[in-house]
Amino acid sequence: MTNPYTDQYATALDDADPLRGLRAEFHVPRHGDGEQAYFVGNSLGLQPKAARAHVEDVLDKWAAEAVEAHFTGTTQWMPYHALLREPLARVVGAEPEEVVAMNSLTANLHFMLVSFYRPTRERPAILMEAGAFPSDRYALESQLRFHGFDPATDLIELEPDQPGGRFSMEAIARAIELHGPRLALVLWPGVQYRTGQAFDVAEITRLGHAAGAIVGFDHAHAAGNLALRLHDDGPDFAVWCHYKYMNAGPGAVAGCFVHARHARTDRPRFAGWWGHEEATRFRMEPTFQPTPGADGWQLSNPPILGLAPLRASLELFDRVGMQALRAKSLSLTGYLETLIAQRLSGTLAIVTPGDPGQRGAQLSLRVLEGRGLRGRDAGRSLFDALSAQGVLGDWREPDVIRISPAPMYNSHADVLRFVRAAEAWREGRA
Ligand SMILES: Cc1ncc(COP(=O)(O)O)c(C=O)c1O
């Protein structure tokens, strides 16, 4: 049984998978009499079945105890966000005091920029990737203008130097060196949303710091996907969301990392009472005294109903650990790559790097041709045909289909199903 394109081969891989039981912990959307092959965990992860119980626990406590629920039981609301701190730190490779769940991704990016983007006339510039997720660009551009600088000269957007919109480390290093003396900040993605390329966080951080800049990361597509080591890799800050690989639900409360070296600094920040030193918060004194660590950037009392599904998700991450998840992810995505090479090489081009060390779960695919169509038209046609067969990927303009096998709930059989569904489209059977 050496042909990967067989049910037996996929089944053997799934039978040997130590994480195969995890799928049963999630609600998998239905398709006909069966389940979808859901490859959109890079957009909205599936619902952990335990999420409902955690949300209901909050609702029940609210109904039965109202304000007193802040101080009763093991899930009391006053320290509720602290229940998330350690498991979240384990997912992103941080010290517990370096992480906090709060706000949304873009809001956290702005709050981090308030503290860490401190432009001067000599050093006003920000380096980012051209083609970044638009929200990041809007945030950076608006921060530049807010400080009285001109994005036309001070927002440096590095163009990709590799096919398919990928970057070489050399190009990133050259840009940091070239602009170094003017750089206030480097903001980079952990995993690029369109291409799926993963970057060397430690090396980009080292280069940025050597140039005298602050270094931050958007880990929207990296958290829960790669085995991050934020503390050791050393960026100054990072932000991410929890609705993708972290499976905490639509618009879930987001994540934020502030490196321990900034835990006790008097950096300027936009303050709110929940960031005030915990021991004295309820003295209601007029002077803000930040609590050490990432918690000191909180503004408001946390949305407990919003945190409840994240708790459910983190329990699963804690049960298996990022190393085991990453090992399965490498197997699933490697299998996807192998089958595309074997069965779909004239139909699909893989945009994502072939080196597993430079990608996470996602493969970004361009459709070359099929059914008499080419390029974008072929892409849209395939995408629609996949959806009609219960194989869910997502579409990113102008011409990319993203397929992300999530190790929490996808199987090798799902991957084989994707390839067969794409073949059925090509051959006019779907
Ligand atoms: C890479 C990246 N950055 C930023 C965002 C914006 O996130 P939010 O709407 O949660 O602020 C997203 C959303 O999908 C994203 O993928």
Q: Was 301 annotated as part of a binding site?
A: yes
Q: Domain boundary at 284, 299, 319, which? A: 319
* Residue 263 scores a pLDDT above 80: yes
To test the pocket of ligand 1, the residue of 105, 137, 218, 397 to mutate (highest count of ligand atoms within 8 Å of its CB) is 105
Q: Domain check: are 16 and 90 in the same one?
A: no
Q: Domain check: are 295 and 413 in the same one?
A: no
Task: List the beta bridge partners of residue 290.
Answer: 276
In a domain, 48, yes or no: no
In a domain, 43, yes or no: no
Which domain, by its residues, includes 183?
A: 54-319
In a domain, 70, yes or no: yes
Residue 104 exposure: Cα atoms within 13 Å on the Cβ side: 9
- Whether the bond between 398 and the residue before it is cis, its omega within 30 degrees of 0, is yes
Please list every protein residue whose CB sits less than 6 Å from any atom of ligand 1: 104-106, 133, 135-136, 189, 193, 218, 220-221, 241
- Calculate the average pLDDT of the chain: 97
Q: What is the CATH number of the domain that holds 305?
A: 3.40.640.10
Q: Was 381 annotated as part of a binding site?
A: no
Among the residue ranges 220-224, 311-315, 392-396, the one predicted with the least confidence is 392-396
Which is nearest to 425 in space by CA: 371, 345, 373, 380?
Answer: 371
Strand intervals (E) in 268-368: 348-350, 363-367
Q: Domain check: are 202 and 84 in the same one?
A: yes
Query: Which amino acid residue places its CA nearest to atom 7 of ligand 1?
Result: 105
Q: Domain check: are 213 and 268 in the same one?
A: yes
Q: Was 292 annotated as part of a binding site?
A: no
To test the pocket of ligand 1, the residue of 135, 191, 243 to mutate (highest count of ligand atoms within 8 Å of its CB) is 135
Q: Domain check: are 311 and 325 in the same one?
A: no
In a domain, 42, yes or no: no
To test the pocket of ligand 1, the residue of 241, 243, 245 to mutate (highest count of ligand atoms within 8 Å of its CB) is 241
Q: Using a CB cutoff of 8 Å and minimum separation of 24, what contacts does 232-236 make?
A: 232/93, 232/202, 233/93, 233/201, 233/202, 233/205, 234/202, 234/205, 234/206, 234/209, 234/259, 235/201, 235/204, 235/205, 235/259, 236/116, 236/261, 236/262
Q: Domain check: are 131 and 182 in the same one?
A: yes
Q: What is the CATH number of the domain that holds 29?
A: 3.90.1150.10
Q: Domain check: are 270 and 330 in the same one?
A: no
Q: Domain check: are 303 and 334 in the same one?
A: no
Q: Domain check: are 240 and 153 in the same one?
A: yes
Question: What is the distance in A from the centroid of ligand 1 to the CA of 187?
Answer: 14
List Cα–Cα distances, 306 to 69, 82, 205, in angstroms: 16, 14, 32
In a domain, 24, yes or no: yes
Q: Return the pLDDT at 231.
A: 98
Q: Was 11 annotated as part of a binding site?
A: no
Question: What is the distance in A from the centroid of ligand 1 to the CA of 220?
Answer: 6
Q: Domain boundary at 319, 336, 360, which? A: 319
Looking at the 3D structure of the chain, how many domains does it have?
Answer: 2
List Cα–Cα distances, 340 to 6, 145, 172, 305, 401, in angstroms: 14, 46, 30, 42, 14
* Residue 1 scores a pLDDT above 70: no
Query: Which amino acid residue places its CA nearest to atom 16 of ligand 1?
Result: 220
In a domain, 81, yes or no: yes
Per-residue pLDDT tens digits for 176-213: 999 999 999 999 999 999 999 999 999 999 999 999 99
In a domain, 1, yes or no: no
Nearest atom (ligand 1) to Cα of 254 = 10
Q: Was 218 annotated as part of a binding site?
A: yes
Q: Domain check: are 273 and 338 in the same one?
A: no
Question: What is the distance in A from the centroid of ligand 1 to the CA of 116?
Answer: 20
Q: Domain boundary at 291, 319, 347, which? A: 319
Give the separation between CA 227 and CA 324, rounded to whole angstroms.
Answer: 9
| Rounded percentage of the chain residues whose pLDDT exceeds 70 | 100
Q: Return the pLDDT at 411.
A: 98
Q: Domain check: are 81 and 150 in the same one?
A: yes
Per-residue pLDDT tens digits for 116-150: 999 999 999 999 999 999 999 999 999 999 999 99
Task: List the beta bridge partners of residue 305.
Answer: none
Please work out, in degrees rounded to the nearest 5, the angle formed at the alpha carbon of residue 351 by the alpha carbons of 347 and 352.
Answer: 130
In a domain, 106, yes or no: yes
Q: Domain check: are 375 and 409 in the same one?
A: yes
